[in-house]
Structures are given as structure tokens and as C-alpha cells.
Amino acid sequence: MESYKPLVKATVAKLIDHTQTNSRRLVGFVVDMFCTTMIDVANEFEVPSYLFYPSNATFLGLQIHVQYLYDVEKYDISEFKDSELEVPTLSRPLPAKCFPSVMLNKEWLQIILSQTRRYCETKGILVNTFAELEPQAMKFFSGGDHPLPPVYAVGPLLDLKINGSNSDNEILMWLDAQPRRSVVFLCFGSMGGFREEQAKEIAIALERSGHRFIWCLRRALPMGPLAEFPNLKEILPEGFLDRTAEIGKIISWAPQSAVLASPAIGGFVSHCGWNSILESVWFGVPIATWPLFAEQQLNAFEMVEELGLAVEIRNHFRGEYMAAETESELMSAEEIERGIRCVMEHDSDVRDRVKEMSEKSHVAIMDGGSSHAALLEFIQDVTRARISGVLNGGLLTKL
């Protein structure tokens, strides 16, 4: 990211070149959470920077708290293993087993800390959440007892365009023929894959549960990107594909938002990436949590224990990518089956709460909704932030 500074500087300079007829007035930079080095470029142009934070407000609070512990209390959080941690954006202590695996990795922790230290240099932080979803976190940020600039909850920001391939259309047509809430959807994000042993346990659980399913399955390799299994018959239980041919689909990639939008989907077994959580809430589909890496263990804990919007398969699972451990764990078929049965219950309290939160997510981005109001506040603050006073227009450069 550091190496892109000269290119970004040259590109922005061209945009605001007043010798050009189509030049713009630069108001500020909006930088991604991993692009904080571009704050230096904004400073060279003498304009403010704002941060776009695509994860949730709870994790943002944890980052700030961990940075304080590390820099002020001299506590190395990567050694945190056997107790609970009070986090200001949670109403209950976070168990060590649910601590984000990315922060238990010494190398990744240093990257996160270096990024977090720069958040305070910005003039505001846009978070992809909405106030009704994370009340404890937004209460903390509105209270002012933290070093951050204003935090704006402007979500859910989702890409819900459904322009699928032919294979995607086949999946959606199959879903159209299934009964309402009869299908469990298993999908683990762009980096979620499994070893042969784990794939077999999932297959056993699916068949035992008796539910229809769509399973996005990819292979985790020791090094390199995910791949498809070359021969599913060799790794799955003997006869599984034949026995489930009418009730299940195994695919390597899923049009996730389109699948979740289908009335046939009754539950979602997810890695708990934040975008996936927001999509499930938007469409009112309850989640069974199976976090793998990054901040997903925290997300799973928040959804199950803090908010009651998901059921637990296991909130402290550690996947192979960015894992703190050298060996990944194995989730048993019994655990997976129990989670599937629980998330597919039609009259559960969790399903009712997810439905209610789904309605709130839609209201949040409407005129007068909490996120709509926060976005207007952000625009007003950007306008006031210009050194010369009131601005008559300008350009926000997003990185």
C-alpha cells in the first residue's frame, strides 16, 4: 500500500488541476481501514481524511481497546488465552476462546496495531453497521470516552445486485421449486475451505439432519488459494451424492445474496464474515455460527451471546487461514447436525428476533432512519471541516 502513494498523489493532483476544464475541488479522502498510509497523501494536499470501516462497531471498539492495552498497559494481547476480557463495546466479557484469531497471531497483531494507531488521525469513521444492531457499541462511541473522532453508523451497505451466471441461475431455479424455509445454506466466504476429513463430517451431518441443502464446498490447501475437490465421490461418504441428489446441491461458488433472498432458505451455516451477517439480517435468515479466522470469532460471539440473533455450532473454531494454531480443528458431525437442526427450527425465538432486526435494517437506510441520519451528519461535518469554512462543493476521493 505504501508503494501506491506516488500514484495516488499524481491521480488526485490531475483531478484537481485547475488548468483543466473539468477540474474538481478536493474536500477530503475516504480511506479503507487497511489504507491508512494514504492519510499522508491527504495531509500533503492539506485536506482531512475519513475512514471507511467495513467491519462492525464492536470490533472497532476491540481494536481501540487492544491498542490501549498494548501501548499503555504494556500487555501483549497475543498471550491472552485463559480468561475473559472486558470490552467497552460489549455488554458482557469476551471469553479467550472467542477472541479473534487474527489478534492472537503476533505478526498480524502488529499490522492491526499500526493501522489502529492511525485511526485517531482521521476526522471521522464510517462503519458498516446500524445503530439498532449494535446498541452497546454505538452507545460507547456516542459517549465520548474514547480517543476516536466521530463514528457514523451508515449501514447496512450491501451489494444486492443479482446478475448471475448460467450455473447460478440453475441454483436459483432449483430453489424456486423447494418448499418455503426448507433449505439450509452452507457457505464460508471467499477464503473458507476445508480438508477432506472436515468435508466428510459436514456431509454426514447434512444427511442425518434430513434437510434440503445448498453447500458451497471448496478445498483448503496447505499453501495457495482455495480449489475445488477433484473428485467428490472419493472424499464424501460412499453413496452420499446419490442419496442426496434430489434434496441437495454441492457447488464451488454461490451467488450468496440471491440465495439468501430466496423464500426457500430457512437457515444459513456461515463463517460469520461481517458482510455475510449483514446479508443474513437483511433477508431475515438466522445463522448457525462457524467462524474460521480474522475477526469472525468475535462476530459469532456477538451474534449469539450479545444479540441473540444466531445459534451456535461452535463460536471458537479456528480455521486454517490466519489461524493462531498450527493445526486446524475438526468439527464433529454431531456438532454440525445439532446446529443445523437448531437454525432450521421454524418457530424459534432466534428466528423471530432476526425477522424483527431485518425490518429495522431496512428502516435504518430510509429517509429518517438512523443510518440515513448518520450519513447526513457525516456530509454536514465534511462541509464544516474545510479550513476556509463553508464549502460550495467538492470531491471526496475514496481509496
CATH code at position 180: 3.40.50.2000
In this structure, are 173 and 299 located in the same domain?
yes
Give me the pLDDT at residue 233, please.
Answer: 93
- 329's grid cell: 480443528
Are residue 18 and residue 143 in the same domain, yes or no?
yes
Q: What is the total count of domains within the chain?
A: 2
pLDDT tens column, 44-59 = 999 999 999 999 999 9
Cα-atom radius of gyration of the chain, to the nearest Å? 23
Q: Render the burial of 165-196: b for 16+ CB within 10 Å, e for the rest.
A: eeebeebbebbeebeebbbbbbbbbebbbbbe
Is the distance from CB of 23 to CB of 15 less than 8 angstroms? yes
Does 90 share its domain with 125?
yes
**Does 379 fall in a domain?**
yes
What spatial distance separates the first Cα and last Cα of the chain, rounded to whole Å? Answer: 11
Question: Does residue 302 share a domain with residue 242?
Answer: yes
Report how far apart, in Å, the C-alpha atoms of 84 and of each of 67, 79, 93, 98, 365 are: 17, 13, 6, 9, 35
Mean pLDDT of 347-362: 97
Examine the pLDDT at 322 and tell me if it is beyond 60: no
User: Is residue 337 helix, strand or coil?
Assistant: helix
- Residue 311 banded pLDDT, cuts 50, 70, 90: very high
Considering the domain boundaries, does residue 160 fall inside one? no
The verdict on 68 and 183 lying in the same domain is no
209 and 130 in a common domain: no
Give the model's confidence band at 281: pLDDT under 50 very low, under 70 low, under 90 confident, else very high: very high
Domain contains 161: no
- The pLDDT value recorded for residue 338 is 97
- pLDDT at position 390 is 41
Together in a domain, 209 and 339: yes
Residues 314 and 245 in one domain: yes
DSSP string for 171-240:
HHHHHHTSPTT-EEEEE--TT--B-HHHHHHHHHHHHHH--EEEEE--B--SSSS-B--S-HHHHSPTTH
Helix axis angle, 106-119 to 57-71, nearest 10°: 100
DSSP class of 270: E
Q: How far apart are CA 139 and CA 57, in angstroms?
A: 10
Q: Are residues 283 and 383 in the same domain?
A: no
**pLDDT of 362 above 50:** yes
In a domain, 51, yes or no: yes
Residue 50 maps to a domain: yes
DSSP annotation of 389 reads S
Neighbouring CB atoms inside 10 A of 119's CB total: 22
The domain of 76 spans 2-155+365-398
pLDDT digit string, tens, across residues 224-270 = 677 888 899 999 999 999 999 999 999 998 899 999 999 999 999 99
Indicate whether 228 belongs to any domain: yes
Q: What is the pLDDT of residue 266?
A: 98
pLDDT value at residue 168: 78
Out of 357, 375, 390, a domain closes at 357
The answer as to whether 248 is a domain residue is yes
Q: Look-up: residue for cell 473458507?
A: 192
Examine residue 44 and state whether it is found in any structural domain, yes or no: yes
Mean pLDDT value of segment 64-86:
89
